[in-house]
Chains A and B, each alone.
Chain A
Amino acid sequence: MLKKVTLAAAIAATAVAITGCQEEAKTVGIDPSKHTDALFAVMNADRTNYTKLIVGRLGPKGADAVLPVEHWKDVSNGVPLPAQMFRAGYEAVSEVTDDFTYSLQSIWPINSQNAPRTPMEKEGLEYVAKNLGKNFYGTETLGGKDYFTAVYADVASVKACVSCHNGHKDSPKTDFKMGDVMGGVVIRVPLGG
């Protein structure tokens, strides 16, 4: 009798353990591309708003109260250019999390450090430049870690962006037009633990 009770208890315990394990194995999450799409939506909205609501209203063409300029720290009423504001956002984010990283890059960068550095960045930037309206997604290994990498087209939507890039002495491309893809936003999310 004792043997039967012990066996029954063991089976019950095993069943509970297995059920429990199955529940633990269930994971809840979202597709990495949806995650990066959402991040990009916020980044893009913030940059557009900065460009139109701050620089547009208070800058040279608006109230003339601020001067968006590359070396803005050296100018008393200087404020960052939209692309620099975007980078400042990344730098601030990098101080609080490494769960994702992002950068603004281009095949035709003013600062050569913003040219693609990894094969996937190059592939992604070329893809979004050739396939208007489409995003690029892939995975790559950097420094021994796997990353989900998404690239989103950066389309010229404000005349000031086009004229500045076309007129800058460091720009390798000087015939940008409104609506052209000028570069891309690269977002990376580390995969695994």
Chain B
Amino acid sequence: MSRKVVIWLVWLALCFGLAGMLGYEMFVQEQKPNFVIGDATHGHHQIELSCDTCHTSPFGGEEVIHDACLGCHQEELKSAHDSHPIKKFTDPRNADRLEKINAVSCVTCHGEHKQDRTFAMGVTLPDDFCYECHADIAENRPSHEGMGFETCASAGCHNYHDNRALYEDFLLANSEGDKVKAVAMVLERTGTDALERKEALTINDADAKSASPEHLKEWAASIHADAGVNCTSCHEPQGQPWQDDPGLAACNSCHENEEKGFLLGKHGMKLAEGLGKMSPATGRQIFHDDADLTGLDCSSCHDAHNPAPQIAAVEACTSCHNDIHTQNYATSPHADLWKKEQSGELPEGSGVSCATCHMPREVHKEFGEEVVRVQHNQSMNLRPNEKMIRTVCMSCHSLAFSLDALADPALIESNFNGLPAQHIPSIEMVLKRDAR
């Protein structure tokens, strides 16, 4: 066999080998790391290996991805009273605007896999994009004369989607108030009360075939025993054989809403897409070197045998997260209140834990009744941070103080140790206009 033939054979073998490997990954494997065209944004990096979460069809363009965006984010946009819903732009009278910015598609502004061109909020357009439709804003709002269009959404004044705490009449209605309200309390949870509670159980009622005395003791003192939830309720979910670690299936039969939020949020979205549990090993935040890497599910924060929310509210977070904001929590005024609440010095609801702000208690209407539940999807109020104003900050602070504090990155990093270094003049502008 000549040398030439050998080279050709080797070449063919390599080509077929490579094609086979890539073909297998493309058509058989669920995860496709070799086909990721660039790092995904902070919001999607956890699920970037699950291509078909966003690219739901091989035969489709932007509209396919747009539909996938709405599949996860539609509810959030709805609850945010989206200021720029797609239906606002579908009238042909906006055809000229759509030629400049195709506002009927999410991916026009939020391109993925473009880290070098991705700005705050995952936006991949230049930050003065408001100009395209609002160039004449100073005609109706002389106070805006000379303001740069790159400052619309970066100065604590406006957001593209969520302006619930920023619109003019809301600013006017909440123009007054003390930095800290006289009664500064978070809402009392009612969600668990809505569950069907059975008679409280004692350690003698435990129906586990085998369990350590420590586990039984913990369980007997827990809220689960108090609510009549026995060992097999969780360890033999839906009549299945005993499972030492039953996972989400054990929790969602009673905590369906919490699970839904968890799976949509940053802690659970990876698990929801079948890519395994999220762990600090694959996160982009700053974590402790010795953080638990076993992966997140409900029991990572809530010990099922001792599901005291106090642990989940602070210790569970700080055991993994180690950024400066988290490091500064322990010495913050918020933590001081939390410690006083835990020691009984202050009433329940007056402390501020990590979860108070990042997993807030929200009011939901169910069958005409108001129910207060913990939002387990952090994305609902994380970015832009003005999302927090109504559901979190204003439980204790005035709107003016909240606006100023959230617009001060240094104050946020210090975990609110001090006062805002700048003032957002939105309320004064509204008052001045109203007085005319």
Which A residues form the contact surface with B (CB < 8 A)? Answer: 70-71, 73-74, 90-91, 94-95, 98, 101, 103, 112, 117-118, 121, 142-145, 147, 169-170, 186, 188, 190
A residues near B433, Cβ cutoff 8 Å? 169
Closest residue to B140 on the A side, CB-wise? A112
Q: Does B95 contact A (CB under 8 A)?
A: yes
- By the criterion of a CB under 8 Å from any partner CB, how many residues of chain B are at the interface? 20
**Are A117 and B93 in contact (CB-based, < 8 A)?**
yes
Smallest CB gap from B86: residue in A: A94
B87 x A95 contact (CB < 8 A): yes
Instruction: Kindly provide the distance from the CB of A62 to the nearest chain B CB, expressed in whole angstroms.
Output: 22
Give the contacting residue for B93; candidates A118, A170, A190; CB below 8 A: A118
- Smallest Cβ-Cβ distance to A70: which chain B residue: B169
CB–CB A143/B95 < 8 A = yes
Of B81, B87, B96, B98, the most chain A CB neighbours within 10 A belong to B87
Interchain CB contact under 8 A, A121 and B90 = no
CB contacts under 8 Å to A, within B75-118, are: 81, 85, 87, 90-96, 98-99
Whether a CB of chain A sits under 8 angstroms from the CB of B167 is yes
Q: Is A143 in contact with B170, judged by CB distance below 8 angstroms?
A: no
| In the complex, chain B residues 157-177 whose Cβ is within 8 Å of any chain A Cβ | 164, 167, 169-170
Residue among B93, B99, B140, B436 making CB contact with A121, cutoff 8 Å: B93
Chain A contacts of B93 at CB under 8 A?
Answer: 101, 103, 117-118, 121, 142, 186, 188
For A121, give the chain B residue with the smallest CB separation.
B93
Task: Write out, one digit per residue, whether chain B residues 237-272 have a CB within 8 A of any chain A CB (1) or not (0).
Answer: 000000000000000000000000000000000000
Instruction: Tell me the B390-436 residues at the A interface (CB within 8 Å).
Output: 433-434, 436
Question: Is the CB–CB distance between A71 and B90 below 8 Å?
Answer: no
Please give the distance in Å from A77's CB to the nearest CB on chain B: 13
Once the chains bind, are B96 and A143 in contact (CB under 8 Å)?
A: yes
Alpha-carbon gap, A186 to B92, bound state (A) = 11
Contacts of B164 in A (CB 8 A): 74
Q: How far is the CB of B158 from chain A (nearest CB, A)?
A: 15
Across the interface, B140 reaches (CB within 8 A) one of A103, A170, A190, namely: A170
Q: Quick check: A143 and B92 within 8 Å, CB to CB?
A: yes
CA separation between A141 and B435, bound complex, in Å? 43
**6 A-B contacts (beta carbon < 8 Å):** A94-B90, A95-B87, A142-B92, A145-B95, A169-B436, A188-B92
Within the assembled complex, what's the spacing in Å between the Cα atoms of A169 and B140? 11
Residues of chain B within 8 A of A121, CB atoms compared: 93
Are the C-beta atoms of A71 and B94 separated by less than 8 Å?
no
Give the residue name and chain of the B residue nearest to A143 (CB). B95
Name the A residues within 8 Å of B96 (CB-CB).
Answer: 117, 142-143
Main secondary structure of the interface of A (DSSP, over half): mixed
Question: Which residues in A have their C-beta under 8 angstroms from that of B169?
Answer: 70-71
In the assembled complex, the Cα of A8 lies from the Cα of B90 at a distance in Å of: 56
Knowing A143-B96, A169-B434, say if A73 contacts B91 (CB, 8 Å).
Answer: no
B168 to chain A, nearest CB (A): 9
Q: Which A residue sits closest to B99, measured CB to CB?
A: A143
How far does the alpha carbon of A147 sit from the alpha carbon of B92 in the complex, in Å?
9
- Chain A residues closer than 8 Å to B140, beta-carbon distance: 112, 170
Other 13 A-B pairs with CB < 8 A, given A142-B95, A169-B436: A71-B169, A91-B87, A98-B90, A101-B90, A101-B91, A103-B91, A117-B94, A142-B92, A142-B93, A143-B96, A145-B95, A147-B92, A170-B140
Find chain A residues with CB under 8 A from B85 CB.
Answer: 91
Inter-chain contacts of A143 with B (CB < 8 A) = 92, 95-96, 98-99
The 8 Å CB contact of A71, one of B87, B92, B95, B167, is B167
**Which residue of chain A has the shortest Cβ distance to B87 in the bound complex?**
A91
Chain A residues with Cβ below 8 Å from B99 are 143
Tell me the complex Cα distance, A90–B169, Å. Answer: 25
A53 to chain B, nearest CB (A): 23
Contact across chains for A73 and B81 when beta carbons are under 8 A apart: yes
* Leading 7 A-B pairs by shortest Cβ distance: A143-B95, A142-B95, A142-B92, A91-B87, A101-B91, A117-B93, A94-B90
Which A residues lie within 8 Å of B434 (CB)? 169
Find residues 133-153 in chain B having any chain A CB closer than 8 Å to their own CB: 140
- Report how far A190 CA is from B93 CA in the complex, Å: 12
Distance to closest chain A CB from B118 (angstroms): 29
Rounded to whole angstroms, the CA-CA distance of A182 and B98 in the bound complex is 28
For the complex, give the distance between the alpha carbons of A158 and B30 in Å: 62
Complex contacts, A188 vs chain B, CB 8 Å: 91-93
What separation, in Å, do the CA atoms of A71 and B168 have in the docked complex? 10
Q: Point out which of A70, A98, A117, A121 has the most chain B C-beta atoms below 10 A from its C-beta.
A: A117
Closest-CB distance, B316 to chain A (whole angstroms): 34
Cβ contacts under 8 Å, A144 to chain B: 95
